[in-house]
Amino acid sequence: MSAPNRNWPAFHVPVDRSGGVRAHPTAITVRARKAEDPGTLDAAWLRELCTAAGADDVGFVALDTPGLEGERDYVLEAMPGTRSLIALCVRTSRDNLRSRSVSVGNRDVATTSEILHEAARHICLELQRRGVRALYPATGFPMEVQRYPGRSWVVSHKLVAVAAGLGHLGVHRNLIHPRFGNFLVLGTILLDAPVTEYSRPLGWNPCVGCNLCVVACPVGAIHADGSFDVDACSTHNNNHDLSSFAGWVEDIADSRDAADYRRRVTPGETISRWQSLSFSPQYRSGYCVAVCPAGTDVIGPFLADQEQHEREFLVPLQEKPEYVYVEPESDAEHYVQEHFPHKTIRHARRSDVPAPELDAAPAPESE
């Protein structure tokens, strides 16, 4: 027999509603404070706040900046009233990302992402204390994945970073910072206040057009003309996530017994998925980032001896025997057969995820 409320009355401390909300002690305290209008944020002060919090570089843009039209509905959905955006970046440990041991690169991507989240959170709390509304979406995951296979990201950090002058996209479509190159994690903060001075896009592109990213990619996703095969990249690199994860679950469900499961999924693949689930998503390659020599902090040894750069950072990735995940009969499959015959082709099982029935995209102008 249950005995509701025997020890706890409906209200442990009764709420006094006699004077309405305006007479409530909270309302009286807040009214007694001097109302401060945070007004327009001083750009120099904001820059100092961001760099002191741990950002390696930062820029500011108004939400209505040309180039960000596609971001508007998503941003206003996340925080109605957003007026400006902070683009920020934190450097990664270059040699982690260049390592043939992909786990070493993944460790640093995850660590740097958390450092950026912590910096962004610190900035948001300081702005909140000053009466400015501010929020930071994740650098990558978690995202609004219920919208997959539609757009799941809240804001495109690359587009905001370009508009805010942090760099330009290289042939590999990653942002290249003029100093740090592509060895960074990007983030964005949404603000409901304007900033005294906005940044402008960089007048030149730090990409040097060497095309090392083109020849490093194991699935041929990056083309020298700047076009990009999203499907080839995500089928291989994101083999633990999204539709590939759903496909793995279906492989388990379809297996008659352990032997049948092993015919579909190797023990190494099972263990690898355990690692992704336990620690952080394990990308299979970020080879386009690893080999990129662009950026004044990075390019010195490449300029001194390009062949040495390739021997150290490109060739080990090209020669590495590894599983490469492709769709059967895709361009990516033919590319691996032709360029990397020593790598082992695996046909990824990807679940066919239907478009979501609910909340597939923001309502336009949700301001």
Amino acid at 201: P
Q: Which stretch binds ligand SF4 (CB under 6 A): 79-87, 210-218, 229-237, 244-252?
A: 210-218
> In the block, which residue shows the tokens 């610190």?
122
Distance, CA of 9 to CA of 12 (rounded, Å): 6
Contact between 193 and 40 under an 8 Å Cβ cutoff? The reply is: yes
User: Which residue among 140, 178, 220, 295 contacts ligand B12 (CB under 6 A)?
Assistant: 140
Least distance (Å) between residue 285 CB and ligand SF4: 14
Distance, CA of 356 to CA of 150 (rounded, Å): 8
Least distance (Å) between residue 301 CB and ligand B12: 20
Query: Is 207 a binder of ligand SF4 (CB under 6 A)?
Result: yes
Query: Is 228 a binder of ligand B12 (CB under 6 A)?
Result: yes
Interaction residues for ligand SF4, span 158-187 (CB under 6 A):
170-172
**Secondary structure string (H, E, C) spanning 84-132:** EEEEEEEECCHHHHHCCCHHHHHHHHHHHHHHHHHHHHHHHHHHHHCCC
Q: Look at residue 294 and give the partner it binds from ligand SF4, ligand B12, none, a contact being a CB closer than 5 to 8 Å depending on partner kind.
A: ligand SF4
User: Binding mask 288-307 vs ligand SF4 (x if CB under 6 A, - otherwise)?
Assistant: ---xx-x-------------
Contact partners, residue 290, CB within 8 Å, separation at least 6: 97, 98, 99, 105, 216, 313, 317
Least distance (Å) between residue 132 CB and ligand SF4: 36
Distance, CA of 366 to CA of 239 (rounded, Å): 34
Q: Look at residue 193 and give the partner it binds from ligand B12, ligand SF4, none, a contact being a CB closer than 5 to 8 Å depending on partner kind.
A: none
Please identify, using beta-carbon distances, which residue of 228 and 323 lies nearer to ligand B12.
228
- CB-side exposure of 351: number of CA atoms within 13 Å? 20
Contact between 32 and 123 under an 8 Å Cβ cutoff? The reply is: no
Interaction residues for ligand SF4, span 212-241 (CB under 6 A):
212-213
Please identify, using beta-carbon distances, which residue of 41 and 137 lies nearer to ligand B12.
137
Terminal-to-terminal C-alpha distance of the chain: 51
Pull the structure tokens for residue 354.
Answer: 């239907």
Residue nearest to ligand SF4 (CB): 170
Phi, psi of 191, rounded to the nearest 5 degrees: -125, 145
DSSP codes joined into one string, 63-88: TTSTT-GGGHHHHHHHSTT--EEEEE
Interaction residues for ligand B12, span 176-205 (CB under 6 A):
182, 184-186
Please identify, using beta-carbon distances, which residue of 27 and 224 lies nearer to ligand B12.
224
Query: Is 173 a binder of ligand B12 (CB under 6 A)?
Result: yes
Q: What is the CB neighbour count within 10 angstroms for residue 32?
A: 7
Q: What is the CB neighbour count within 10 angstroms for residue 343?
A: 18
Q: Look at residue 109 and give the partner it binds from ligand B12, ligand SF4, none, a contact being a CB closer than 5 to 8 Å depending on partner kind.
A: ligand B12
User: Binding mask 97-116 vs ligand B12 (x if CB under 6 A, - otherwise)?
Assistant: ------------x-------
Query: Is 211 a binder of ligand SF4 (CB under 6 A)?
Result: yes
Contact between 186 and 155 under an 8 Å Cβ cutoff? The reply is: no
Give the SS3 label for residue 187. Answer: strand
Interaction residues for ligand SF4, span 19-78 (CB under 6 A):
none
Amino acid at 362: P
Least distance (Å) between residue 236 CB and ligand SF4: 18
Please identify, using beta-carbon distances, which residue of 116 and 127 lies nearer to ligand B12.
116
β-pairing, 168-169 vs 344-347, is unpaired
Please identify, using beta-carbon distances, which residue of 85 and 288 lies nearer to ligand B12.
288
Q: Look at residue 233 and give the partner it binds from ligand B12, ligand SF4, none, a contact being a CB closer than 5 to 8 Å depending on partner kind.
A: ligand B12
Residues that bind ligand SF4 (CB under 6 A): 170-172, 207-213, 291-292, 294
Give contact residues for ligand B12 (rule: CB under 6 A). Answer: 109, 139-140, 149, 151, 153, 156-159, 172-175, 182, 184-186, 222, 228, 230, 233-234, 237-238, 283, 286, 288-289
